[in-house]
Chains A and B, each alone.
Chain A
Amino acid sequence: MPVAASAIYFLNLRGDVLINRLYRDDVGGNMVDAFRTHIMQTKELGTCPVRQIGGCSFFYMRISNVYIVIVVSSNANVACAFKFVVEAVALFKSYFGGAFDEDAIRNNFVLIYELLDEIMDFGYPQNLSPEILKLYITQEGVRSPFSSKPTDKPVPNATLQVTGAVGWRREGLVYKKNEVFLDIVESVNLLMSSKGSVLRCDVTGKILMKCFLSGMPDLKLGLNDKIGLEKESQIKSRPTKSGKTIELDDVTFHQCVNLTRFNSEKTVSFVPPDGEFELMKYRITEGVNLPFRVLPTIKELGRTRMEVNVKVKSVFGAKMFALGVVIKIPVPKQTAKTSFQVTSGRAKYNAAIDCLVWKIRKFPGQTEPTMSADVELISTMAEKKSWTRPPIQMEFQVPMFTASGLRVRFLKVWEKSGYNTVEWVRYITKAGSYEIRC
């Protein structure tokens, strides 16, 4: 049964109900008490997101300082339920203009009730596209993204759009200047052993799109991925141009992309929603260019001293640079005193996370700054367990660089009025979970 929820609760960290909506009669209104006593107030909290208590099951997620709890008593579709929560939160955020937390909920509770009534019926998720819902669910005090346009008038065909085949775009949009912004955002996930061998490495990328296009445009996106290029050369019976092609392990698309067509023709074609959305996600494991190499040496000198030396090599082009580089090197809890020497950036000891934090604001390519630190430890008596070293973690952003080598080859826009569009493309690579064991 694809039912996702019998009831949904929004609770604050103390367990007070902020919002609740019962969709079905098969769970009681006080089930939230069971959640409070059996999960929130016990060590269970956070050990498993799906729990059965009595005849009911609870799925919960924490988002900022709010617990969202779904209660069911049937064999519900859990995947659907969690995805619904994720999408609903995205929807609320788009309505509130950013934050989703206890205050935002209290301040918009009428709106949330209204939305909850609209996006789920009898436990079945309905249309959750912000673009469409904003056509007919508006609240005073809430800034509408279309505030520049007249929204007071009820849109006559809102209902057709909610249910239409293009349920994510409204008709009759007009822009003076037709523009598309493409952001290719990649996260590099790395797990490196202490000996420097790569245990696991992959890139999860997403293509974010911001469309300001009039009418009902048809878009087609071309990337330098292997399958797409091969298919194209087959169709045009022309050999592929030389150049780097990359192999995507997996791609998933926003619901606006025609999947059947992608499957048969390998082209990404779609009618985009208005404004900002995530067009696609992809994953690559082969041929990842790691932007940084980290070479740590940590020596424990007796029981009260440690010597930490870390060298970080940037291996991208010399003309590029990374921003906001942070390297966190874990040290034992009983760290007492630290002294640093760095060739670039700043380093300090952060006792709250038991880490030496080395920050480099601007990190040019093809350089290798080093940090060395002397760490003094308080000698503790019965230190039974030797210190287990958590991995070094790294954060960074490298603009105009893709770890996968993915490039946008073209973005074609067709609209019956035949206007010209301006396309903007940006690339950025960030650290996902970039861990180096030491």
Chain B
Amino acid sequence: MSGHDSKYFSTTKKGEIPELKEELNSQYKDKRKDAVKKVIAAMTVGKDVSSLFTDVVNCMQTENLELKKLVYLYLINYAKSQPDLAILAVNTFVKDSQDPNPLIRALAVRTMGCIRVDKITEYLCDPLQRCLKDDDPYVRKTAAICVAKLYDINAELVEDRGFLESLKDLISDNNPMVVANAVAALAEIQENSNRPIFEITSHTLSKLLTALNECTEWGQVFILDALSRYKAADAREAENIVERVTPRLQHANCAVVLSAVKMILQQMELITSTDVVRNLCKKMAPPLVTLLSAEPEIQYVALRNINLIVQRRPTILAHEIKVFFCKYNDPIYVKMEKLEIMIKLASDRNIDQVLLEFKEYATEVDVDFVRKAVRAIGRCAIKLERAAERCISVLLELIKIKVNYVVQEAIIVIKDIFRRYPNTYESIIATLCESLDTLDEPEAKASMIWIIGEYAERIDNADELLESFLESFPEEPAQVQLQLLTATVKLFLKKPTEGPQQMIQVVLNNATVETDNPDLRDRAYIYWRLLSTDPEAAKDVVLAEKPVISDDSNQLEPTLLDELLANIATLSSVYHKPPEAFITRVKTTTQRTEDEEYAEGSETGYSESHVADGAASPPTSSDNVPYAAARQPGPAATPTQPAPAAPVPDLLGDLIGLDNAIVPVDQPSTPAGPPLPVLLPASTGQGLQISAHLTRRDGQIFYSLLFENNSQIPLDGFMIQFNKNTFGLAAAGPLQVPQLQPGSSATTLLPMVVFQNLSQGPPSSLLQVAVKNNQQPVWYFNDKISLHVFFTEEGRMERASFLETWRSLPDSNEVSRDFPNAVISSVEATLDQLAASNMFFIARRKHANQDVFYFSAKLPKGTPFLIELTTVVGNPGVKSAIKTPNPEMAPLFFESIEALLRV
């Protein structure tokens, strides 16, 4: 038997809110309790029940713990939207924090810490101080975490009130759970602060290691994670630590095991004795393998981490390759990771077994997995010289199955094998040639053509083979055309007979006159000139010896690997990226009090934070808080500054009463950067000057606006409207600008939506804006839409899909333009800059002295943009070509890329 709460979800009539209000004020306890449950149910399904705030809070004073918890839950969700009313709850909170029942004391402190309203925070300090010293460990462990909460809201307050010291005292608490929570809180505070707050000495270390035994499983994770930052003084200390941590490897909780592994690996770096290291590796292997019998999601995390671990310590799992064999029913993400690790662990000793597995996988159903398996065979061949021959024979067997994508994938890897071991395995070319006509993917075709060209002298009918491709030359994708061109030239140089001579005429003609692909044309002209002036020189160039390629299966840089290993079990280790690469959060700066200049700085930031705070309090439910992590550096974002009460914006929010608009609570402040372009000069706007610019942040488009009031009167009641435009840009919410006193200014970020009011006709970058306020006439001004703000974060394409898309689009969809004045002086800076605008780098290719870069980008409704930039790095002149299903967007694109390259 279980509960019957589902009845609370059944909606009654339209007058639900008044009805609930009545029930909440009922004189009967049970009825009130049921009403609160209904309110929570409504809140869960996303209804706005904030208007019942007072009535719900009135139910707070109750002996019934269940009811109290429900009211608290409501408060956590809605206090922020009703900061003025939240004060009603303060008395009960404070009273509860002194209740004889420790559960209630803890509940009060826990909940208060979750309510990010200044008025509540003010009152939190005294109860928190008491609770940190409470007799009951349950209260103390809750208070410890609460300090971390408070630090997140107001770091300065925590330091002023001496909470950090109390927290440090709790590390010596006699209760293990209190210790664990205190460690977690301190570690988090340290992470967000620039000052040394929680330094682990060898004394704390030893105390905490002792506490490990008594802690709950989670407490062990907190402690191990915090201690993994500790740097042992010497090998002996490191050995000592490791000895005390190793028993954790036997824990049933995977998080404990991984945190222990992290700590052991860190200390192992210091240990010099090879015996000890070998022994530790032996001890770590079984627990790591055991993680693979957990839930698939946990297996995935474990596999991503094992991938890192075997890069640093290949011996750990050298004998365990069998456990990475894929089970037929493993989810695809587990299979892919297992495959990756199998390649890493493959050695001369186990390669036969591994190859049998790969061969088996190559006949499975999932196409991506099959391709990866085929590619894995090739990577093993390149990695293990002595096994290369066996790998090739497996590939040949697979080719014989004649499954189209297997054959193509095999040919791609065989090309790499030929590059790695020149003049060794050419005997198989004949077999490859048999499957020539089944090739339909560009990369496979290009690879095959490369092979024919490279070994033209050994293939009797090389000219016939190439000729068969030549017929379709104009229709082939660029990649194939380029290979065809080079291969034909190679053929001609190796066999300067009549047949090839005719072929070369056809190819050169096609590649120069008939094409508008600049790469192809340039390459063809170079060959042409070479051949006509000095065939010997052409031989030296075209048939030059190629550098040997190597195995790429241990890809990560050692420094990156170090950083990732220090982050085992965390997201960073799963993404294989350092934390900075995906965390936008900035450190809380707490030096404000110590730094006078900074205080001044925050003074100037006043108006900004004023605006941001105003925008943070519309009467919407907390459901409308997108991407709050988008805090940007800058004085206004410093949460240490208690934002002044701003009744004006609150009222504004109330009046407009937007319900489903997307308004970020932590509105990113305007970043320090180039000033916004002035669109409405003060001379036109009777003293009001408006500068604005579209920007994209964290996947959302914002209209960044700066209002400056140079007139003699205060201005208020600002509203904004956009005319129909190509992208249907419209405001997602009302404009949040406070009253502007003469001489003051305000910035705001207006969230935007697209596809709202679309205009007809050809695409145009024109954005017509109207702004009005209560004092002046309506102002109209024009802005220019830069296309790149629409490029979505999902625009990254895989190379293969990029090529496929490129090929699938007709050539008429390709448009190019030259920017004679643009310069790419630093490749990295440009790539970063374009990536910041969601143009994702795909590949780079050298072409003569020019560099060709490929990028992909996507518009919201999935329209891809395939971008090619050709330039000589450091010299003026960039040529940009794009291919897209919507070529009419091209002018807009060029406008935007030109602007980006100019910066």
Binding site for B on A (CB under 8 A): 1-3, 16-20, 22-31, 34, 38, 46-50, 52-57, 59-61, 72-80, 82-84, 86, 96-97, 103-104, 106-111, 113-114, 117, 121-122, 124-128, 136, 139, 141-143, 154, 158-160, 162-165, 167, 189, 191, 193, 199-200, 202, 204, 249-255, 258-260, 262-263, 278, 280-281, 283, 384-386, 388-391, 393, 433, 435, 437
Contacts and interface: CB of A to CB of B under 8 A. Distances in A.
25 contacts: A20-B44, A28-B664, A29-B622, A30-B624, A30-B626, A47-B332, A56-B629, A60-B297, A73-B585, A79-B255, A80-B255, A82-B301, A97-B1, A106-B5, A107-B2, A109-B5, A113-B40, A117-B72, A122-B146, A125-B221, A160-B136, A200-B322, A204-B293, A255-B217, A388-B365
Given A109-B5, A160-B137, A260-B247, A52 B575 contact: yes
A53 B629 CA distance: 12
Contact of B699 (A16, A54, A103, A164): A54
Given A49-B297, A106-B9, A124 B698 contact: no
A96 B287 contact: no
Contact of A252 (B72, B287, B363): B287
User: Of B146, B253, B290, which is in contact with the most chain A CB atoms at under 10 Å from its CB?
Assistant: B253
B698 A50 contact: no
A78 B225 CA distance: 13
B328 to A, nearest CB: 5
Contacts of A29: 621-625
Contacts of A121: 110, 142, 145, 181
B643 to A, nearest CB: 14
B218 A18 contact: no
Given A1-B570, A59-B297, A126-B216, 17 more contacts: A22-B77, A30-B626, A30-B662, A49-B300, A50-B301, A50-B575, A55-B630, A73-B584, A75-B572, A75-B579, A107-B3, A107-B5, A108-B3, A121-B145, A122-B146, A124-B181, A259-B250
Contacts of B614: none
A125 B113 CA distance: 16
A384 B403 CA distance: 7
Interface in B379-432: 401, 403-404
Interface residues on B, range: 35 or more
Given A49-B296, A108-B3, A110-B5, A162 B401 contact: no
A141 to B, nearest CB: 4
A28 B627 contact: yes
* Nearest 6 CB-CB pairings of A with B: A250-B286, A159-B138, A28-B625, A73-B629, A259-B247, A80-B255
Interface in B123-146: 136-139, 141-142, 145-146
A249 B665 CA distance: 52
Given A110-B66, A117-B69, A200-B322, A28 B5 contact: no
Nearest to A384: B404
A20 B41 CA distance: 11
A281 B287 CA distance: 11
B251 A253 contact: yes
B713 interface: no
A272 to B, nearest CB: 14
A55 B72 CA distance: 29
A38 B794 contact: yes
Contacts of B629: 26-27, 55-56, 73
Contact of A2 (B146, B184, B322): B184
B333 A47 contact: yes
A2 B628 CA distance: 21
Contact of A79 (B4, B116, B254): B254
Interface of B: 1-6, 8-9, 37, 40-41, 44-46, 66, 69-70, 72-73, 76-77, 101-103, 106, 110, 113-114, 116, 136-139, 141-142, 145-146, 148-149, 152, 175-178, 181, 184, 187-188, 191, 213-214, 216-218, 221-222, 225-226, 246-248, 250-255, 257-259, 286-287, 289-290, 293, 295-298, 300-302, 322-323, 325, 327-329, 331-333, 353, 356-357, 360, 363-365, 401, 403-404, 567, 569-575, 579, 582-585, 621-630, 662, 664-666, 698-700, 793-794
Scoring A1, A84, A164, A193 by chain B CB atoms within 10 A of each residue's CB, the highest score goes to A1
Given A160-B137, A165-B214, A78 B570 contact: yes
Nearest to A125: B218
A113 B70 contact: yes
Contacts of B177: 126-127, 162-163, 167
A251 B331 contact: no
Given A2-B221, A55-B698, A163-B141, A193 B356 contact: yes
Contacts of B569: 77-80
A77 B184 CA distance: 12
A165 B176 contact: yes
Contacts of A122: 113-114, 145-146, 148-149
Contacts of B287: 250, 252
A260 B213 contact: yes
Contacts, number: 337
A253 B176 CA distance: 19
B585 A252 contact: no
Nearest to A25: B116
Nearest to B584: A55
A114 B107 CA distance: 11
A200 B575 contact: no
A200 B328 CA distance: 13
B103 A255 contact: no
A107 B5 CA distance: 4
Nearest to B105: A159
Given A73-B584, A77-B570, A83-B254, A61 B295 contact: yes
B295 A386 contact: no
A131 to B, nearest CB: 13
B315 to A, nearest CB: 17
B216 A127 contact: yes
Contacts of A79: 254-255, 258-259, 298, 301-302, 569
A391 B364 CA distance: 10
A136 B699 CA distance: 44
B110 A26 contact: no
Given A30-B624, A46-B331, A160-B136, A250 B300 contact: no
Contacts of A111: 3, 5
A195 to B, nearest CB: 10
A31 B624 CA distance: 9
Contacts of A158: 103
Contacts of B103: 136, 154, 158-159
A50 B574 contact: yes
A168 B83 CA distance: 40
Contact of B583 (A34, A75, A114, A255): A75
Given A107-B6, A386-B403, A124 B145 contact: yes
B775 to A, nearest CB: 35
Nearest to A189: B327
B621 A109 contact: no
A54 B698 contact: yes
Contacts of B794: 38
Contacts of A76: 570-571
A5 to B, nearest CB: 12
A110 B333 contact: no
A360 B258 CA distance: 42
Contact of B627 (A55, A97, A110, A251): A55
Interface centre among B221, B252, B289, B404 (most CB of A within 10 A): B252
Contact of A77 (B106, B255, B623): B255
B797 to A, nearest CB: 15
B327 A57 contact: no
A30 B623 contact: yes
Contacts of A388: 363-365
A249 to B, nearest CB: 5
A57 B582 contact: yes
A123 B254 CA distance: 18
Given A80-B255, A124-B222, A253-B252, A263 B571 contact: no
